[in-house]
Amino acid sequence: MMVSSKNPIMALKGCSQVSRSLQRLSYSRPLLVAQTIEGSKRYTSTQATRDDGDSLKSLAESFVPELATHARAVPVSPSYFSRQPSFTDKYLTLHRLLRSYEHLPVTSKDQAERVAWKSLDDYRLAIGEHVKTSDFSKCLQLIKRLHLIHPKLRPKDVNEALAEFKRDIQPFSNVAKPIPIDRFGRALGVGRRKSSVARAWVVEGTGEVLVNGKSLADVFGRVHDRESALWALQATGRLDKYNVWAQVEGGGTTGQAEALTLAVAKALMAHEPALKPALRRAGCVTRDSRRVERKKHGHVKARKMPTWVKR
């Protein structure tokens, strides 16, 4: 970009001392000040007819402002032009870390810390890019290999790279709160099934059972519901060793009986923790999350369709 030679004073606008000097000398000496910025170089050419033009040239060079030039925007990462720039950068970072630290000692898969990694859908939502399943699978292999590095020898940059793929809530780090036994020797267990909630206090005794202040036969008319309510004691052979006092609410009799099964099992494990494997085999430890499926529009029930009639 060139400065116009018709009015060179405009190039030094704001410098009053230099402007006055150029006005006095402009009648006999044409002055051409040209500035070109190429990279970091700058040059100024000046034509004068007298010997004192050199001093004016040095004065002009010190006051000529830098002129704006065209600059091309350069992306931060070469992956900018790819379909998945963020994912590609992270994948290349993991690959570089593995090549740098693959010589470090690793632990076995059984001894490594259990970590819940983000699923493909969660990761797509986090970075806002449609990552292919095969690409995410390869990335997950690198993550699991880096995770096997011994925790005490694992570098800081590896931990930071792995943290981006971990879930916000780690289910494996949750520790179940132990159920205490009060001063009366009672253990409280809470169970749920469908819309029913059951609270059972279990204490050593002779096998008496009260549900909402009534006997078991008065609350549950079906034999199957009575067996379900005390299935935890029956499966472990403890029917005549513990007394149960329970409160149930919500839902129907089947839901209340199965909720009572889980409540009694939790309270029984507080008294005898060694019974947990037997109770798990009997199906008394896991919460049953099944619910009635909702009715759909255009259906008779949840899945049943109206009878099709041709005419």
Both 29 and 114 in one domain: the answer is: no
Asked whether residue 158 is domain-assigned, the answer is: yes
Does residue 277 belong to any structural domain of this protein? Answer: yes
Examine the domain organization and report whether 87 and 59 are in the same domain.
no
Closest CA to 77 of 66, 92, 65, 56: 92
Picking from 140, 173, 206, the residue at the C-terminal end of a domain is 173
d(CA 56, CA 265): 99
The token pair that represents 131 in the structure block: 């990552």
The confidence score (pLDDT) of residue 284 equals 94
Residue 84 has pLDDT above 70, yes or no: yes
pLDDT higher than 80, residue 113: yes
In 144-195 the beta strands, taken as DSSP E runs, fall at: 187-193
Q: Which of 115, 212, 126, 237 is nearest to 173 (CA)?
A: 115
Which residue from 188, 267, 252 is spatially nearest to 222, judged by alpha carbons? Answer: 252
Q: Residue 291 domain-assigned?
A: no
Instruction: Say yes or no: 198 and 264 in one domain.
Output: yes
**Residue that has been written with the tokens 């499966």 in this structure:** 235
Q: Is residue 72 part of a domain?
A: no
Please give the residue that has the higher pLDDT: either 293 or 2: 293
Sign of the Cα pseudo-torsion (269, 272, 276, 281, in order): negative
What's the number of domains the chain is made of?
A: 3
Domain assignment present for residue 180? The answer is no
User: Does a structural domain hold residue 110?
Assistant: yes
Token pair listed for 84? 């998945």
- Residue 23 located in a structural domain: yes
Sign for the CA dihedral angle at 157, 162, 167, 169 comes to: negative
Q: What's the CATH code of the domain at 201?
A: 3.30.230.10
pLDDT in tens, 151-204: 999 999 999 999 999 998 888 878 888 999 999 999 999 999 999 999 999 999
Instruction: With respect to residue 148, please indicate whether it lies within any of the assigned structural domains.
Output: yes
pLDDT at residue 114 greater than cutoff 60: yes
pLDDT tens-digit series, residues 213-271: 999 999 999 999 999 999 999 999 999 999 999 999 999 999 999 999 999 999 999 99
pTM for the structure as a whole? 0.55
196 φ, ψ (degrees, to nearest 5): -100, 145
If asked whether residues 29 and 56 sit together in one domain, one would say yes
User: What is the mean pLDDT of the segment spanning 26-55?
Assistant: 43
Cα separation, 194 vs 211, in Å, equals 19
Q: Which domain holds residue 268?
A: 187-281
